[in-house]
């Protein structure tokens, strides 16, 4: 079973992406230092007949992790042409707008890095 881990940022704003092969699919965990939890789950699937990628999303009440979960699932499923399940939990108590911006930017960066270095997935 192939797996990879990438991270970006420092302290509570450090976002970690861990990916594991599971049969024909990939399971991905996206979380931040000290804030890991299950906030949203996204399942991305590439349809080879139509060339389209779709995502199904579950979000816990009061959580806002769905945007990151959706983006990671969509981008990885489209690039890898495999089913991708993303479990995402990013949290900082009393988060500021600046911290939120850096956290989201770090999530984008780990997704980009996963696409580049995760060629074996």
Residue 74, Cα to own-chain centre: how many angstroms?
Answer: 9
CA-nearest of 72, 88, 59 to 121 is 72
**Domain edges within the chain:** 3-93
pLDDT band at 120; cut points 50, 70, 90: low
pLDDT band at 121; cut points 50, 70, 90: low
The whole-angstrom separation of Cα 37 and Cα 21 is 21
Instruction: Say if residues 69 and 40 touch (Cβ distance below 8 Å).
Output: yes
Higher pLDDT, residue 73 or 117: 73
Q: What is residue 116's predicted lDDT score, i.e. its pLDDT?
A: 87
Residues contacting residue 59 through CB under 8 Å, at least 6 positions apart: 39, 40, 65, 66, 69
Q: What is residue 117's predicted lDDT score, i.e. its pLDDT?
A: 80
Class of domain 3-93: alpha beta
Task: Return the structure tokens found at 78.
Answer: 């489209």
pLDDT digits (tens, 9 = 90+) for 63-106: 999 999 999 999 999 999 999 999 999 999 999 999 999 999 99
How much is the pTM? Answer: 0.94
pLDDT digits (tens, 9 = 90+) for 8-20: 999 999 999 999 9
pLDDT digits (tens, 9 = 90+) for 27-72: 999 999 999 999 999 999 999 999 999 999 999 999 999 999 999 9
């Amino acid at each position: 079973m192939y797996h990879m881990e990438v991270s970006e940022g420092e302290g509570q704003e450090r976002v970690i992406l861990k990916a594991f092969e599971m049969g024909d699919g990939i399971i991905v965990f996206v979380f931040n230092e000290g804030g890991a939890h299950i906030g949203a789950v996204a399942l991305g699937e590439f349809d080879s007949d139509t060339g389209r990628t779709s995502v199904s999303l579950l979000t816990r009440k009061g959580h806002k992790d769905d945007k990151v979960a959706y983006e990671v699932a969509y981008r990885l499923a489209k690039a890898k042409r495999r089913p991708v399940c993303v479990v995402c939990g990013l949290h900082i108590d009393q988060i500021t707008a600046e911290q939120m911006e850096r956290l989201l930017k770090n999530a984008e960066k780990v997704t980009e890095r996963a696409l580049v270095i995760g060629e074996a997935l």
